[in-house]
Amino acid sequence: MMLGLALGDTLGGARGRLPDAGPLRAGVSTQLACFTAEGVIRAQVRGNHKGICYAPGVVLHAYCRWAYLQGIETDRMRRRWNKGGAPSWPDGWLARVPALAERRGSAPATVTALSRVEEGEERMAGASRGCHALTRGLPIAVTGPQGIALSGAVAALTHGDGAAQSAAAHAALLAHHCLTATGDAGPPGPSLHSGTSVREALHAGVTALPSAGLPLTGDEHGRIAAALRNALDDPADVRRLARLAPDATAPAALLGGVYAAASCPDRAGIRAALEFAAQAPDGASVACVAGALLGAVHGVEALPVDLAGRHELAWVVDTLARDLVLELDDSPSGSEYVRAWDPHWWDRYPGW
């Protein structure tokens, strides 16, 4: 899922026209998704050691580390998070990745909200419906049904529009169903058969939405179901894609991503799906969602090796994905009462 997200973000941002050689540059959605994954890990670490944790606040800290690396409101970030002037802040290994300190596109609603971080979480967010509320939150899908609501809360840190928050949570639930898709002859996990597994996983997710305890209007559910139905009846139509995803908003990224993924569901067709998604008016967000959904179902081995091997953050997103699953399964840093089995984990993922 993480690698599919990164490839979709890059290919969509390039409108499907990648250079023939050299590293593939990450987009801003990928940068922010990395910090979401790291924030979720650190929230889990804090909960294990303190017994209580407000996860959105820990993820907010992660976004502020991204902003600091980007040179955004550095004095304000220091005042908020490094009052003692510790030389180690921003801490954790992710803050030492050079590519995350480089500008790779704009995230205006996120940046504007973070510039108001000292006003408090309740007053930071603007009224934006922008796509980054959704794309950066996709890693939360790994936390399972109990954690999906965190997607909406994390989106609300910077995007005050209710439709953006709902779309973020709906996308995470669909991605969770893609991650847990079951093949014809195997346990839950990446499917070894093609086509129908993607459509079946998305259908299962759409069917589960009304009972998932997430904010959901009848119109929102109807539009998501219609996007999936359109992919079955009229797949890979550029004009329909433009109608479903006409702009760079979170609801458009969700509908366009579902349509693109279900239009080109075959295991061998991931590149074609991303190239098609890149033709949306905001190709980066739509291809980002489509890549995450397809990668979640088919597994890393189905992604185009020539693209994944050239992506500058391939190792980073792979490491974060593995560490997120490891933290959720086995808590390497231990807990308040259990000794750590990895003595370096807390330094990699400090629990705050």
Find how far residue 72's CA is from the centre of its chain: 22
Cis peptide before 210 (omega within 30 of 0): no
Give the per-residue pLDDT at 187. Answer: 45
Tokens standing for residue 92: 């954790």
Picking from 111, 177, 95, the residue whose alpha carbon sits closest to that of residue 138 is 177
CA distance 60 to 58: 5
CA distance 156 to 167: 11
Query: Is 350 a domain residue?
Result: no
Query: Dihedral sign, CA of 93, 95, 96, 98?
Result: positive
Helix (H, G, I), strand (E, B), or coil: what is residue 126? strand
User: Which domain does 308 fall in, by range?
Assistant: 2-18+26-334
Query: Is 166 a domain residue?
Result: yes
Residue entry with tokens 């984990």:
345
Tokens standing for residue 331: 């808590």
Query: Is 287 a domain residue?
Result: yes
Residue entry with tokens 């023939």:
20
Query: Is 80 a domain residue?
Result: yes
Cβ within 8 Å of residue 326, ≥6 positions away: 332
Residue entry with tokens 């075959």:
266
Query: Is 340 a domain residue?
Result: no
Angle, vertex CA 171, rays to CA 166 and CA 176, nearest 5: 130
Query: Is 344 a domain residue?
Result: no
Query: Is 339 a domain residue?
Result: no
CATH of residue 74: 1.10.4080.10
pTM above the 0.85 mark? Answer: yes
Digitized pLDDT (tens) for each residue of the chain, 352 residues in all: 999 999 999 999 999 899 999 999 999 999 999 999 999 999 999 999 999 999 999 999 999 999 999 999 999 999 999 988 888 999 999 999 999 999 999 999 999 999 999 999 989 999 999 999 999 999 999 999 889 999 999 999 999 999 999 999 999 999 999 999 864 334 444 444 445 699 999 999 999 999 999 999 999 999 999 999 999 999 999 999 999 999 999 999 999 999 999 999 999 999 999 999 999 999 999 999 999 999 999 999 999 999 999 999 999 999 999 999 999 999 999 998 899 999 999 999 999 9
Give the per-residue pLDDT at 83. Answer: 87
Tokens standing for residue 254: 């969700």
- Give the amino acid at 341: W
Query: Is 305 a domain residue?
Result: yes
CA distance 143 to 3: 17
State how many domains the chain has.
1
Give the per-residue pLDDT at 195. Answer: 54
